């Protein structure tokens, strides 16, 4: 594909300029080569972006827009993304080593997110609520101000869109800090947004160090809300800083999601769903179904079939349309995944499939890791408790509903869960008993922008998507208007009244 990277500048409040921070190196880990080097943003760049954002957000040119006028910018952003799917997909595949099929889908999903929140904005009503006297009571919603959006590297444009679209729709300005491993597609989004004529200042993209730029954003007095997706430890640190300022923060964090296979399931459907749930995106997915519980009555046969299916997955280059499992994002990340497989062996686990880098000579230069299945561990092992964020599945047996609900819930995370059974009533009851933000029954990793998404416990606080996703970026205000024209009786005024 003949595409090129743009220049090395960052986007500060409508201005393309060199950042004052340390340079950021984008790599194509699938081939072990450098894509480009960007000038990274500094804390001073963050200050400048926030100052301009504050002014642009308060400007009547933005605040005075009717909802349908504000929505028109989001429709144009959506169209701009749709018109550039191939370029966005290429950039994102080069930056993250994801397959083109996946990055095309992520770009299409981002376009859909902007379109959806434009529609939500145009169709959301403020409320007249029930009064308890002769007055009108209204519940209205106003923008918060300047929003800091901080995103991870695994699905950059989709994560960016899930924050930027509702935040702009709600009437805010947004300063976006993408992950240092995947800065390029967020800058491409800046080009698209710039072309819509959105007033300068309302949107900035600051690739730069999380510890410097991200931290500055969160602590800056003019940031009114933080929307974060990333790791649990980073999320905890952000939440502490937001608590000091008493500002709202939403945290979409990690996961160690259970998939439960009952002996009355359709095994072929379950195997296909499990493969997709853990090994698509090379396992670098917050919702990856990384803990598999199989009912003991079918355990041996089912796991043998799953191992066979896993070995048949095509590991390959992200631009090869046959590829199912591509390179990991970075050689350092592969080292981390390999470290967990070594830990699993130390803990007494047996590697049933994969377990290391593939042998194929044409993949030797990349950060590939084979789809891996580990058995023989107890749910309390570190390998079963901690997020690996790679193509590694741990498999454990269970005896019945009570046992599996207890094991599935025995984990700090609470992001997602998959259940496979032909018994819909059992699926429903188990789904309700599992602590997770999302439950998939006889399916996995299906998404709709209309359906809220988020986690419980160590998987985070708050929900994105859905109609309420717009309100999460607004301040609710209650307004009481007297209709009686009568003085309050408590005052006994005017005298004698």
Site residues (CB under 6 A) for ligand NAP? Answer: 150-154, 177, 179-180, 209-211, 214-215, 218, 229-231, 234, 237-238, 252-255, 286, 387, 389, 415, 455, 460
Binning the chain into helix, strand and coil, the percentages to the nearest 5 are 40, 20, 40
Which residue number, 302 or 389, has a Cβ lying nearer to ligand NAP? 389
**Least distance from C-beta 374 to ligand NAP, angstroms?**
19
CB contact at 8 A, 304 and 293: no
**Least distance from C-beta 389 to ligand NAP, angstroms?**
5
Cβ burial of 467 (10 Å; 0-12, 13-18, 19+) is middle
Give the pair of three-digit tokens for residue 251: 């945290």
What phi and psi values does residue 35 have, to the nearest 5 degrees? -80, -55
Which residue number, 19 or 214, has a Cβ lying nearer to ligand NAP? 214
- Nearest Cα neighbor of 464 from 126, 76, 160, 102 is 160
Q: Which of 31, 212, 252, 387 is catalytic?
A: 252
**Least distance from C-beta 97 to ligand NAP, angstroms?**
15
Report the C-alpha gap between 372 and 375 in whole angstroms: 10
Assess whether 347 carries a catalytic annotation: no
**Least distance from C-beta 208 to ligand NAP, angstroms?**
7
Assess whether 286 carries a catalytic annotation: yes
> What is the SS3 assignment for 409?
helix
**Least distance from C-beta 231 to ligand NAP, angstroms?**
3
494: cis peptide before it, omega within 30°? Answer: yes
Give the pair of three-digit tokens for residue 336: 């981390």
Which residue number, 211 or 422, has a Cβ lying nearer to ligand NAP? 211
Q: 342: which residues sit within 8 A by CB, 6+ positions away?
A: none
Q: 349: which residues sit within 8 A by CB, 6+ positions away?
A: 374, 375, 376, 377, 381, 383, 394
Which residue number, 104 or 177, has a Cβ lying nearer to ligand NAP? 177
**Least distance from C-beta 30 to ligand NAP, angstroms?**
18
CB contact at 8 A, 17 and 9: yes
Q: Which of 265, 286, 384, 427 is catalytic?
A: 286
Query: E strands, 230-327, where?
Result: 249-252, 258-261, 291-295
The set of catalytic residues is: 252, 286
């Amino acid at each position: 594909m003949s595409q090129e990277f743009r220049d090395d500048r960052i986007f500060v409040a409508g201005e393309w300029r060199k950042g004052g921070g340390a340079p950021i190196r984008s790599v194509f880990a699938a081939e072990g080569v450098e894509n480009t080097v960007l000038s990274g943003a500094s804390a001073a760049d963050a200050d400048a972006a926030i100052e301009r954002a504050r002014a642009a957000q308060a400007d009547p040119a933005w605040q005075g827009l009717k909802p349908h006028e504000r929505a028109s910018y989001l429709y144009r952003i959506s169209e701009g993304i749709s018109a550039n799917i191939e370029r966005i997909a290429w950039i994102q595949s080069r930056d993250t080593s994801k397959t083109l099929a996946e990055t095309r889908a992520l770009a299409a999903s981002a376009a859909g997110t902007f379109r959806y929140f434009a529609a939500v904005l145009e169709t959301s009503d403020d409320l007249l609520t029930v009064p308890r006297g002769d007055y009108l009571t209204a519940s209205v919603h106003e923008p918060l101000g300047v929003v800091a959006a901080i995103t991870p590297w695994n699905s950059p444009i989709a994560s960016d869109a899930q924050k930027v679209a509702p935040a702009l729709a709600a009437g805010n300005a947004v300063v976006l800090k993408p992950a240092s491993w995947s800065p390029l597609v967020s800058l491409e989004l800046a080009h698209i947004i710039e072309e819509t004529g959105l007033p300068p200042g309302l949107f900035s993209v600051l690739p730069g160090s999380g510890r410097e730029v991200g931290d500055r954003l969160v602590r800056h007095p003019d940031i009114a809300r933080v929307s974060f997706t990333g790791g649990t430890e980073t999320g905890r640190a952000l939440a502490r800083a937001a608590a000091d300022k008493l500002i709202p923060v939403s945290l979409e964090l990690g996961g160690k999601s259970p998939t439960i296979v009952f002996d009355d399931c359709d095994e072929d459907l379950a195997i296909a769903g499990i493969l997709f749930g853990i090994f698509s995106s090379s396992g670098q997915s917050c919702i990856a179904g990384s803990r598999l519980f199989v009912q003991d009555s079918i355990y041996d046969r089912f796991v043998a079939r799953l191992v066979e299916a896993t070995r048949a997955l095509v590991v390959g280059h992200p631009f090869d349309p046959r590829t199912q499992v591509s390179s990991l994002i970075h050689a350092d990340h592969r080292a981390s995944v390999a470290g967990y497989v070594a830990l699993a062996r130390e803990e007494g686990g047996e590697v049933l499939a994969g377990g290391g880098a593939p042998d194929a000579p044409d993949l030797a230069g990349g950060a590939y890791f084979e789809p891996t299945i580990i058995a023989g561990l107890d749910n309390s092992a570190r390998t079963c408790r901690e997020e690996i964020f790679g193509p590694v599945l741990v498999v454990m047996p269970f005896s019945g509903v009570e046992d599996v609900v207890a094991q599935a819930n025995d984990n700090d995370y609470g992001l997602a869960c998959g259940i496979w059974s032909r018994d819909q009533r059992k699926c429903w009851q188990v789904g309700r008993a599992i602590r997770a933000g999302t439950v998939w029954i006889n399916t996995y990793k299906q998404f709709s922008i209309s359906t809220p998404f988020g986690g419980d416990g160590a998987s985070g606080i708050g929900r994105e998507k859905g109609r309420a996703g717009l309100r999460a970026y607004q301040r609710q205000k209650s307004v009481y208007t007297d209709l009686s024209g009568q003085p309050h009786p408590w005052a006994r005024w005017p005298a004698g009244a």
